[in-house]
Amino acid sequence: MKRATLSITVALLTFVVGVSASTAWLIKPRRQQILLTQPTNKEIRPGVTVDSAGKPTLEMVFVLDTTGSMSGLIEGAKQRIWGIVNDVMQTPSRPNVRIGLVAYRDRQDAYVTQVLPLTDDLDKVYSTLMDYRAEGGGDEPEDVRRALAAGVREVGWSQTGTERVARIVFLVGDAPPHDDYADAPSTEVTVSEAVRLGMTVNTIQCGNSPATKAAWQAVARGGEGQYFAIAQDGGVENIATPYDTRLSELGTKLGSTFLAYGGGGGAAGTSFRRDVAATQASHEMKVARNAPMPAVADRAVNKALNERAYAGDLLQSLENESVKLEAVKDEDLPDDLRKLSPEARRKETDRRLDERRRIRAEIVSLSKQRDAFLAASRKKQSSDTRGGFDTAVAVALKEQMARKGIK
């Protein structure tokens, strides 16, 4: 692989409830042509039990080559990943989404793999990916063996047998495996293990390396997934709209309504809430400064409709009815609410919830207009007949989620 060093920010991201299906939640009283084919010695990371209410869940892991020649793909992906996940959540089943990441390079590079376990904290995923850099490489093959094994064994998949959970892997790269490396299982062995554990493995090849094509097709075939061939630069269409700026502003405004709670009393509790609030504020600032405008707009829509948009947020917990205000201990409340009487607390939280609903309603309205603009623009644009990264992921997700009854 040609060695190159590029510094870029990356955004792959998160999930959202469908616009039409979710409008009721917003006003809820408080409370291309795509080419297709059909581990290390570490212990498998313990799984988790997903949504106890039985809500369908998509678990999606991207095993992503981050060497220098992948800069185009990463740049394209950061434009569209929020939109991809938003589309998933516009299905009638309104599944939860958990995302994991495995960035990989080769032995002589700064790292071989970097693993982010599956999580529904999509801002954490987004922030992690924005810190990636497309660097390194050298000889053509990369340590795909170890990367794919990490994607199967180290990301914390849910327990097998969990109903209505789609476990889907995307191996994305432009170079074949280093099959001369003997310190990790072959891709064939890892893929067989993945299928046995209920996963589907897809491959997305950037560029036209014959060696990569053969390897990627074999992995997809063994993983009961799909193989996609796309342009080296990812083939993603970047379309700006007249609604992006306002959606960005509204997303920031919505983020400002975040209300950290929990952690108990005393200095430790105050510090806990302060740190939670600071983390959320950091996410908002990082997105505003570094993310491309289309991604910022898609994230705003996500935050407006996602029932799990903000980790540690009191208002979200009240809306989702996972907690009741009167049941929250005084010591866990934000300082400004703790000073109020119970009746005054209720009035203040109601006021803040009303403000949040107004912001969300405007975001949803603008997002519908934006969707219409994007649909019209895409009809006018010509593109690579093979499709792009976003198209490949969307096609695979639709078919493979349906296998699990998630439609």
DSSP string, 208-274: --HHHHHHHHHHHHHTEEEEEEE-TT--------TTHHHHHHHHHHHHTT--B--S-SHHHHHHHHH
**Residue 154, CA distances (Å) to 13, 40, 99, 183 in order:** 19, 10, 13, 16
Mean pLDDT of 137-148: 90
Return the closest-CA partner of residue 334 out of 279, 254, 263.
263
Same domain, 339 and 191: no
Q: Domain limits at 223?
A: 19-236+383-403
Residue 376 pLDDT more than 50?
A: yes
Return the closest-CA partner of residue 44 out of 146, 118, 152, 153.
153
Same domain, 291 and 394: no
Same domain, 25 and 73: yes
Q: By mean pLDDT, which of 119-128, 295-304, 328-337, 379-388 is the weakest?
A: 379-388
**Residue 262, CA distances (Å) to 325, 330, 396 in order:** 12, 10, 40
Residue 18 pLDDT more than 80?
A: no
Q: Rounded distance, CA 178 to CA 181, Å?
A: 6
Return the closest-CA partner of residue 69 out of 224, 261, 205.
205
- pLDDT-derived band at 36 (thresholds 50, 70, 90) equals very low
Answer yes or no: are the C-beta atoms of 124 and 287 closer than 8 Å: no
Q: Has residue 341 been placed in a domain?
A: yes
Mean pLDDT of 203-224: 97
Same domain, 202 and 224: yes
Same domain, 318 and 227: no
DSSP string, 50-69: --TT---EEEEEEEEE-SGG
Same domain, 142 and 262: no
The per-residue pLDDT for range 144-172, each reduced to its tens digit, is: 999 999 999 999 999 866 678 999 999 99
The pLDDT of residue 15 is: 36
Q: Report the percentage of the chain scoring pLDDT > 70.
A: 85
The pLDDT of residue 382 is: 57
**Residue 393, CA distances (Å) to 85, 264, 329, 387, 397 in order:** 10, 43, 44, 10, 6
Q: Has residue 3 been placed in a domain?
A: no
Q: Has residue 349 been placed in a domain?
A: yes
**Residue 137, CA distances (Å) to 3, 72, 185, 215 in order:** 5, 15, 21, 18
Q: Has residue 7 been placed in a domain?
A: no
Q: Report the percentage of the chain scoring pLDDT > 90.
A: 66
**Pair of tokens at residue 132:** 């990636």
**Pair of tokens at residue 155:** 């990301």
Residue 40 pLDDT more than 50?
A: no
Same domain, 200 and 307: no
CA triplet 342, 347, 349: central angle to 5 degrees?
A: 90
Q: What is the largest CA-CA distance in the chain?
A: 70
Chain centroid offset of residue 376 CA: 26
Q: What is the DSSP letter of 134?
A: B
Q: Has residue 254 been placed in a domain?
A: yes
Whichever domain contains 64, its CATH number is 3.40.50.410
The pLDDT of residue 383 is: 52
Same domain, 222 and 328: no
- pLDDT-derived band at 125 (thresholds 50, 70, 90) equals confident
Across all residues in the chain, what is the average pLDDT? 86
* Helix-, strand-, coil-residue percentages of the chain, each rounded to 5: 45, 15, 40
Using the structure block, give the residue that is written with the tokens 């866990």.
332
Q: How many residues does the chain have?
A: 407
Report the number of distinct structural domains present in the chain. 2
Same domain, 197 and 311: no
Q: Has residue 23 been placed in a domain?
A: yes
Q: Rounded distance, CA 203 to CA 165, Å?
A: 20
Residue 314 pLDDT more than 90?
A: yes
The pLDDT of residue 137 is: 77
**Pair of tokens at residue 72:** 């185009």
Helix pair 293-305, 19-26: axis angle to 10 deg = 50
Same domain, 203 and 266: no
Q: Has residue 316 been placed in a domain?
A: yes
Mean pLDDT of 249-267: 95
* Dihedral over alpha carbons 300, 301, 303, 304 (to 10 degrees): 120
Q: Rounded distance, CA 146 to CA 178, Å?
A: 10
Same domain, 81 and 206: yes
Q: By mean pLDDT, which of 122-131, 341-350, 351-360, 384-393 is the weakest?
A: 384-393
Same domain, 397 and 255: no
Q: Has residue 28 been placed in a domain?
A: yes
The pLDDT of residue 35 is: 39
